[in-house]
Every structure is written in structure tokens, then in C-alpha cells.
Structure 1
């Protein structure tokens, strides 16, 4: 369900036209062709209107991962709203940092955001290859770097063909997260989009941007469209696909 929160900026931080800031969100997830949905996402809104949101992409499939991913997403979203997304992801990390007696504790990659109604910068933290995009009304920009071996090889001059073969090898994950491996970005754009790789890896970049342009004013419609647009690869495999959309703007005439 889409969520909406409004809060006037405090004294000394009034927006130019004194209209309240509005944060509207949308969330969608779709199971892929594997055993079950190892993705999860949550949006949490504090009493003062601050929004925390997180997308979790579980590594592998199976009942244990699908049970744990929603817990990680809930923890990350709630703590992100209260303490920021760095704290949110590190708190979620503690839930799976120990492999457990059977050595089969779940692992994941993740991206989280906190948006304040009185601040024009959304703070994003991530680990692994979950992503955050920003849309300013004219262009879509990727604000995160995938923490994969393939990405690192390309950054160091290795050919795209060779590097692509290592895109599924993660350099870090949520269970191993530290302050040094959870990266931070600030986004000033009016729309922030969080995705699992089942979205951004399974559709061309131009289609993703076209969908954002078409649905930029309707976060739930955009989240639904992004998840629905993910297509199977040449083998017929389609990954779990999950997206959160956060729109930050000012509402007039209310």
C-alpha cells in the first residue's frame, strides 16, 4: 500500500512557499522462477513524518532465506527512520552475523534510505548490488556502485567481457557488513528508487528510465511497473524483483 506523510518544516527551515513537504511511497515485489521470494522490502514512518525504507535481496533461495528477509527489511526500515540507514543496515546485519548452530543462517545484500520532511537530501546506504536511483524530473541517475568483483575488475581496466563473468561474485554482503563496507550517498532528487537486482539486471536501462518518466508522480504505480517489467533471461530464469519508490515534494492547495 502507498504511504503518505506530511509535515511542515520547523521554524527557521521553512520552504520558500511555506507549503508542507509530502513524502509518498510505493512498494512492490514479485517472486521469480526459483523456489520462493528471497526479496523483501519495508517502509516505516515515524510520528514526525520521517520515512525509513529498505530493500533486502536474500542470497540464494529456500525457506530459511524467505523467512529471514522480511525480518531484515523490517529492522532496517525502522532503524533507518530513527538512526539513519547506516544504523539500519548494521542493525539488520547483527541478526545474521552469526552463521548459527547449523551454519545455514541467511545472507543478503541491501539498500536503505531515510527521508526527512524538512530536509532536501535523502540519505542512502547500501551493501552488495542492491541499487538506489534518483529522478529529478528530467534524468535518471544511479547513485550506488555494485559491490561485485565484476564491477571492481571493470574499474581497474579489465575488459567488459571478462569482467561480466564475475558480476555474480559479491565483494561484501549484509552478514559481513561494517562501517567500512556500507557505503553512503546523498540524493537531492524528487524521486528515489530502491531496487533489487531482479529489477535493474532484468530490463534494459532505457526501459527502466522510460517507466520512471511515465510514472514519476505515482510511486505505487511506478513500483508496480518496475517489478512487472522484469523479464526472464535466455534460459527462462527470472529473479525475484522488488522496488521501493519514494517521492519527495510539496503539495499545494491543501
Structure 2
């Protein structure tokens, strides 16, 4: 049996405040990164509300039950964020992107909204298991942009889905098998807006820690908060 453990780090980077957050619940097989939007007093609060929701979530049963529990919790916090904005912030926009990965036995699942990402490394290969909810992603899918061009695109930070930005939260999800040889990386866009997939693969192949990944993004010039969680399996 494989025991999965995560190590995470978040840092404000060159920003005045940190609107990112992370969750590592090794015992329950749940890890997440969250990127708040709306500025100080809005983005950081939205991220904190989602973090608290995921940290306090009761998980049990099989993967389908766990997926439903996470989705229901995120729908609930979506309404809570919108209510808070309406009642206390004159409906100032606030919300957060999020990616959540669940691992149980030999199966995993991911849920996400926005451009927070999940990558899977196995040997010399790194696959992005999420797809950004952005107009730029559509251009990438159509082959109209390269990865580097997409990172430099003037609309690179425009997203069309996030927790708290609409009455009905549209979450995307996927399920897939896992193996002990695999490692997983969750990132907010402060990381992958400056580090290409090849950059990240090189860091993971060299067993760079989550702190090292943050440092690499900041050294590359990231202007955003930076957050990364590394999840790997060890035999019991």
C-alpha cells in the first residue's frame, strides 16, 4: 500500500499581501492550492474561506462520495463569498481559483476552477492534468499560440471561472489511476506564469523541494504570490 504525503509552501513574493492559500490533509488524501482575487481584504478573505472549508470538510466513503463532498462544499463557499461581497463590500468582486486533488488507494481525482493547476510527473514526463479556464487556453488548444506566447499574452491573467464570481460555480473534474512512481505538483499562476512545463519537469527531476520551486519562480521574475504543493507516495 502506498502512503501519499504532501509538502506545501506559499509566499507573498513581491506583493504586499499574500492572497494565496494551500491545504495539505495527508491523512484524508486531499491537497489544494487557492489563488484569491479581488485585492487585499477581498482575495485573501476569499482564499481563506475556501481553505477553511476544505480543512474542515468531512471525508469518507469511496471516491465518488469524496468528489461530491468537495464539490458541495465549494458550491456552499461560492455562495458564502458572494453573500459576503454583497453585504460587506458593496458587491466588490472577490473570489479565488482553486485546484483540489484527492487520492484514495490506486485512484485519484481532481476538481478545479480557474487557472490553478495540477501536474503529474513520471520519470522524464510531466503532464498537465488540468486545463485553464481562460481565453488564452482556447488559443493554445487551437494551436494559435505556443506555451511561451501564451505566458506572455496580454490577456494571460483573464479567467472565466472561479469560486465566488458567479451564482453557479462550474467545476471541472477528472479521475485517473495513480502509481507510486508518480509525483504530483499543484501550483498557482504565480508559479506557472513564469516557469514553463520544461522548467517544472527539470526542477522535479532534480527533486527540488516546494520551497525551491517558489524560489525558481521568483528568480524568474514572478510578480505574483507563489504557491506550490508537492505530493508523492511512499510504501507503507
Shared fold (TM-score greater than 0.5)? yes
Distance 1:23 1:78, change over 3 A: farther
1:126 aligns to 2:123 (yes or no): no
Give 1:211 deviation, angstroms: 1.3
Aligned partners of 1:52 and 1:79 also within 8 Å:
no
**Aligned equivalent of 2:213, options 226, 230, 235:** 226
Aligned partners of 1:77 and 1:112 also within 8 Å:
no
**Matching residue of 1:53:** 31
1:21 aligns to 2:2 (yes or no): yes
**Matching residue of 2:53:** 75
**Aligned equivalent of 2:82, options 97, 101, 110:** 97
**Matching residue of 1:106:** 94
Give 1:80 deviation, angstroms: 7.8
**119-128 or 154-163, larger mean C-alpha shift:** 154-163
Gaps of 5+ in 1: 1-19, 216-220
Please give the alpha-carbon distance, in whole angstroms, between the structure 1 residues aligned to 2:133 and 2:119: 16
With normalisation by structure 1, the TM-score equals: 0.75
**85-94 or 143-152, larger mean C-alpha shift:** 85-94
**67-76 or 150-159, larger mean C-alpha shift:** 150-159
SS at match of 1:79: coil
What CA RMSD, in Å, does the superposition of the two structures yield over aligned residues? 2.6
Aligned partners of 1:111 and 1:194 also within 8 Å:
yes
Gaps of 5+ in 2: 61-65
Please identify which structure carries the higher helix content.
2
Aligned partners of 2:116 and 2:132 also within 8 Å:
yes
Please give the alpha-carbon distance, in whole angstroms, between the structure 1 residues aligned to 2:124 and 2:144: 32
User: Residues 188-235 of structure 1: CA distance to partner in whole angstroms, max 9, x if unpaired?
Assistant: 2532211100111122332211111122xxxxx6221111211367xx
Q: Which has the larger radius of gyration?
A: 1
Distance 1:72 1:126, change over 3 A: same
1:147 aligns to 2:125 (yes or no): no
Aligned partners of 1:36 and 1:62 also within 8 Å:
yes
1:173 aligns to 2:162 (yes or no): yes
Aligned partners of 1:72 and 1:95 also within 8 Å:
no
